[in-house]
């Protein structure tokens, strides 16, 4: 007997970091409060943590919200987002994505 399982996978429909950055820039413009930026990332399915005086790529000692999200089944698209902020306001966004799977 065969059993079929229907699984729901969240999909942004985006394939590139440029598409995601454009979407996030529109949703979280420079000057947005950190708490509002965190809320907007969460509402888009990201798991968010606050990074203080941390490193992101070649940037050192920066404060940012770190968001990550994966979508897909066997091969997943992993999204990693940094929302940089100073004095409680967003200053910019960086996005990375890659495919993960067997």
pLDDT in tens, 36-82: 999 999 999 999 999 999 999 999 999 999 999 998 888 889 999 99
pTM assigned to the model: 0.85
Q: How far apart are CA 65 and CA 61, in angstroms?
A: 13
How high does pLDDT run on average in the chain? Answer: 88
Q: How far is CA 98 from CA 78, 81, 87, in A?
A: 5, 12, 31
- Nearest to residue 37, comparing CAs of 19, 50, 53? 50
Instruction: State phi, psi for 99 to the nearest 5 degrees.
Output: -95, 140
- pLDDT category at 2 given cuts 50, 70, 90 is very low
Residues 6+ apart with CB under 8 A from 61: 53, 54, 55
Q: Where are the domains of the chain?
A: 17-100
At 12, the pLDDT band (50, 70, 90 cuts) reads: low
């Amino acid at each position: 007997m065969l059993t079929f399982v229907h699984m729901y996978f969240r999909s942004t429909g985006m394939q590139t970091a440029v598409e995601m950055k454009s979407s996030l820039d529109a949703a979280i413009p420079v000057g947005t409060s950190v708490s509002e930026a965190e809320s907007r990332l969460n509402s888009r399915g990201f798991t968010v943590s606050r990074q203080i005086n941390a490193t992101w790529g070649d940037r050192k000692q920066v404060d940012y919200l770190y968001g990550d999200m994966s979508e897909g089944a066997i091969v997943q698209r992993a999204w990693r987002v940094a929302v940089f902020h100073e004095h409680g306001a967003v200053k910019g966004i960086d996005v990375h994505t890659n495919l993960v799977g067997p």
